[in-house]
A and B are shown apart, each in its own frame.
Chain A
Amino acid sequence: MANVRIVTDVTANLDPGLVEQFKITVLPIEIRVGDALHVIGPGEAGEDLFEQMAEDPAQSSSVTIPASVFHRAFTELCRQTEQILVIVTSSKLSGAFEQARIASQAFLGRCRIVVLDSMSVSWGLGLMVRAAARAASRSLLLDEIVRMVRGILPHIYFVFLVERLDYLEKGGRLGAAQALLGTMLRIKPLLLMEDGEIVSLEKVRTRSAALEKLVDFVTEFATIEEVMILKSPVDSELNGLIPELKELLKQALPRQQFETIDYDPILATHLGPEALGIIVYEGL
């Protein structure tokens, strides 16, 4: 029996060499900025899109992968394998999960397709995909891989600060109960992705408090397997915090590596072009 094949979306932020090696199918995502539809494929930083979004928060809009794109991908893969695992961006942030499920139904009886909600984004999603791909290369069965990914899933944490809340608010991605918009004070909310959903964790007003919260968040883990800092590719006040953030994190956890990646324009439609986040995988 052929190995399980993995399908994911472009936000997984995978290294092209790895995609090649494990034959991962990476689907592009469509986003709308202004009047134009943009298809974001692997390796596209989309800095110009960040700048466009910064000009007008009302313009960028949500994201999906149409079922037809999944259908084509599944048709192609079904010639090579009978087991497909789809791991996509949190269903709370994107329609891709639902579209994949719809597409998968046409293959009932021909090919086993499991669609998993990563309940994460970006590097967090990528981490699960990498683990799944490695397991597949060792010829693990679909059910075993699904179990493994489900095991990783609750151990990935994502917190972030956003400069402006209107992107989240406009996208309806923030619970109304969080009562953040319309606050009379300028605040920087610290947000958390919880069960795939963005929830407000705390609110801070000062740079120093924001830094402290991010550092506290990381250092409170008993163990950390991997950690990644997510930043905007365009200049922002929050990016200015990064050197100090790394410095403080290194002081607290001298043996840990702290690398930085740019988050993608898809996540930017949710968080806005100015956000700073940290994803922690605490390990199993």
Chain B
Amino acid sequence: MTEHETTAVGGNEPSSTRHGAPTQYCDGRGLKRLIGAGLAWLERHQQAINALNVYPVPDGDTGTNMLLTMQSAYQEIQDSPEDEVGIIAQKVAHGALMGARGNSGVILSQIFRGFARTLDGIEAFDTVVLAAALREAAATAYKGVIKPVEGTILTVAREAAEAAVGAAASSDDLGYVLAQVVREARESVTRTPSLLPVLAEAGVVDAGGQGLHIILEGMLRYSRGEQYTVDNELAAAMDLHDLHVEGEEGYGYDVQFIIQGERLDVEKIRETIAAMGDSALVVGDSRAVKVHVHTPEPGTPINYGAGLGSLSRVTIENMQEQYQEFILSKAQKPVVQPEHPGRIGTVVVAPGPGLTSVFESLGASSVVSGGQTMNPSTEELLHAVERVASNDVIVLPNNKNIILAAEQTKELSEKNIEVVPTISVPQGIAALLALNYQADVEANARIMAEAAEHIETIEITRAVRSVQINGMSVEEGEVIGLINGTLKLKGTAATEVALDALGEVHAEDYEIITIYYGEMVTHDQAEQLSEETSERYPEQETEVIDGGQPHYYFIMSVE
């Protein structure tokens, strides 16, 4: 699904060309192109922004998260013929909100939200309105986080808005004002390390701030006459819950899966799958290919895929049902669910099949796949919340970078939602165990948050970049150990780092050591760690569970 949008500078162009007269107004079509241009420029810088992440852990990367958020925003408007800038801005805000992934994505969506609020009912903006909208955008973003931190995207948004206000006071040329905004954003980004010491130590600027700067810069470049191309492949590939509703007929099944194998021929798979149905989407490389197709016979593509390699994340959905759900949601009618009065539903985020089973076995109502490497979007979390058959829902994000997106669901759903801000899988498990069926949802949120705090989390993974942090110098590829989310140890072997970490947390003072081993670890390796742990801590119970999580050798807890 690659879409090319080539824009000539014409009658509706949003801003001035170098040689033409200054542009004073930007209407809906203009804003749409600006958003497209910002998105396109962000796409080109995604990896560079990812590389700015301070932490060397495999995590939902800022560049990717912001890009997915922007793509979701753009999808809302790409086919819209709307002239009114206020309506386009609303659509952008909605798309960004639903597609928001990771903290940076959520903050970006807040920026669009504030922006849209100012433009509500406005046909086209001039420099003064633009400046006001940018100020409101920054203010909304600040309000969206509980403890705003300077030296982040928030600072960049605020300072860029201030520059807009200054420039708008003396000019009615949108191009000029935008240029001032971008200049200030760039400078603001370069100042982030002086505001946030952790950036200075790692020798980087803030990734989220840089993301915002890049989006604004893409807009500026377009306003100066550069063309852009939007490549939506990433969004399509990653958004499992993307609804493809087209026309009234031809509903069959929506089939999705990932083939893992060797020497997979993506082109050939794409051709074959395309012949099996509509809306075929096949992306990937020689080792993993993601397939998405609408077909009346779901078995056909699945059998074909299974013949090429091992399948994972297989989902089959009846599109007629989806369509109805979609229509209902569009009509703003809440989908009526059978409800168990008094029961509290739980939505948890978990990486890996093993951990998913653990959460399910403990009674989680819904498990959203995701975690360290893939942060689910607000929309995915919202879907999960809506599907739970109770009105009171507790969400356990189990990752620092998912908490904000989880918080967003509160405003989007009619349900009574509490987010317990768990930052790791063991915290999520401790919280879920503490769920008290007798207590109400608010009391439970308290009880569960407290239970989560009483557990020590150890995570063993591999550094994905070389970085200087917490006084430690870590080389890419080294095994690193995090304790309660803070990098504390490094080494060459996962088992050895895991044992060191147990020493560091004084496992001898606790009762139970639980080891969830990841997909990179064999059962034998896990057993070996288990034996060594039992030997070293004979007084403690050691439990080993196949977590199946990606990228993390071991996730461990002591309690």
- The residues of A with any CB-CB pair to B shorter than 8 Å are 177-180, 182-187, 192, 194, 199-209
Taken together as a complex, chains A and B put the C-alpha atoms of A13 and B429 apart, in Å, by 39
Main secondary structure of the interface of A (DSSP, over half): mixed
C-alpha spacing A199/B438, complex, angstroms? 9
Question: What is the interface size of chain B, counting residues whose CB is below 8 A from a CB of the partner?
Answer: 23
Nearest chain A CB to B451's CB is how many angstroms away? 8
**B545 near A184 (CB under 8 angstroms)?**
yes
A202 touches B511 (CB 8 A): no
> Once the chains are docked, how many angstroms separate the CA of A180 from the CA of B363?
7
Nearest CB on A from B424, distance (A) = 15
Are A183 and B361 closer than 8 Å at their CB atoms? yes
Set B340, B358, B434: member contacting A185, Cβ < 8 A:
B358
Q: Which residues of A contact B363 (CB under 8 A)?
A: 178-180
Known: A185-B545, A206-B512. A179 touches B361 (CB 8 A): yes
How many A-B residue pairs have C-beta atoms within 8 angstroms? Tell me.
57
B80 at the A interface (CB under 8 A): no
16 additional contacts, CB 8 Å, given A185-B361, A192-B438?
A177-B340, A179-B362, A182-B361, A183-B361, A184-B358, A184-B361, A184-B545, A185-B362, A185-B545, A186-B541, A187-B362, A201-B437, A202-B436, A203-B362, A203-B433, A205-B511
B residues in contact (CB < 8 Å) with A: 340, 343, 357-358, 361-363, 429, 433-438, 454, 510-512, 514, 541, 543, 545, 559
Say yes or no: A184-B433 contact (C-beta < 8 A), given A206-B511, A208-B511.
no
Q: Is the CB of B545 within 8 A of A202?
A: no
Residues in B with CB closer than 8 Å to A179 are: 361-363
A201 CB contact (under 8 Å) in B340, B357, B436: B436
Closest-CB distance, A208 to chain B (whole angstroms): 7
Docked CA distance A124–B56 (Å): 58
User: In the docked arrangement, what's the CA distance between A118 and B174, Å?
Assistant: 79
Q: How distant is the Cα of A185 from the Cα of B559 in the complex, in angstroms?
A: 13
Cβ contacts A to B, 26 pairs, < 8 Å: A177-B340, A179-B361, A179-B362, A182-B361, A184-B357, A184-B358, A185-B361, A185-B514, A185-B543, A185-B545, A186-B541, A186-B543, A187-B362, A192-B438, A194-B438, A201-B437, A202-B433, A202-B435, A202-B437, A203-B362, A203-B433, A203-B434, A206-B510, A206-B559, A209-B454, A209-B559
Docked complex Cα distance between A182 and B541 (Å): 19
Contact assessment for B433 and A204 in the assembled complex, using a CB-CB cutoff below 8 Å: yes
B437: A residues at CB distance < 8 A: 178, 199-202
Taken together as a complex, chains A and B put the C-alpha atoms of A183 and B358 apart, in Å, by 7
Inter-chain contacts of B362 with A (CB < 8 A): 179, 183, 185, 187, 203
Chain A residues with CB under 8 Å of B543's CB are 185-186
Which residue of B is nearest A208, CB measured?
B511
- Minimum C-beta distance from A119 to chain B (A): 16
